[in-house]
Amino acid sequence: MTTTEATPQVSAEELIKTTPLLQEIVRQLRAHDPYGTFRNWSDELILKPYVVTREQKKKISVDGEVDVITKSRIITFYRAIASLIEQETGLLSQVVIDLSHEGFGWVLVFSGRLLLVSKTLRDAQRFGFDSLEKLVAEGEKIAKSGIELGKKHGDVAQL
């Protein structure tokens, strides 16, 4: 038996309000807003560029270099993850990104000598998620794994 009734969905506004990861991304973006561009923007609007549909991705060329704004969007995503890890483990970390001109590369989150997050990137020009829900699922998964590593190998993270 199928039902036509939609499953009750949380509004984007509600999701953002209740999700620490999204809150942290917004906080970081607002903190690095030298010209006050975001001052009158809603959180939802600020987060909008993180949602890139499959159709939109197809239209983004991967031939050129990754532009500064996309790169900083990637870094902010991982900085927010680093912040979640810090809240759980107390470990302060650095985010480093190394992209070739073809959008391939690495993003690393590390504390001391421990890599809490280690990800290869490809087609970074197309960085984005199908939806905010997908962003949260992916980001929380990465954070969870980093938290476990940080707890298990705290000695290496303190080096």
Distances in Å between the alpha carbon of 5 and those of 8, 10, 13, 23, 46? 9, 15, 22, 30, 31
Site for a copy of itself in 101-130 (CB under 8 A): 105-106, 108, 110, 112-116, 118
Closest by Cα among 148, 20, 28, 142 to 79: 28
- Per CB under 8 A, 10 contacts a copy of itself: no
Closest C-alpha to 24, from 43, 39, 41, 9: 43
Residue span binding a copy of itself (CB under 8 A) among the ranges 39-47, 51-59, 98-106, 126-134: 98-106
Q: Which of 14, 67, 98, 130 is the binder for a copy of itself (CB under 8 A)? A: 98
Which position among 97, 102, 136, 138 is part of the footprint of a copy of itself (CB under 8 A)? Answer: 97
**3-class DSSP state of 116:** strand
Interface residues with a copy of itself (CB under 8 A) are: 94, 96-98, 105-106, 108, 110, 112-116, 118, 149, 153, 156, 159
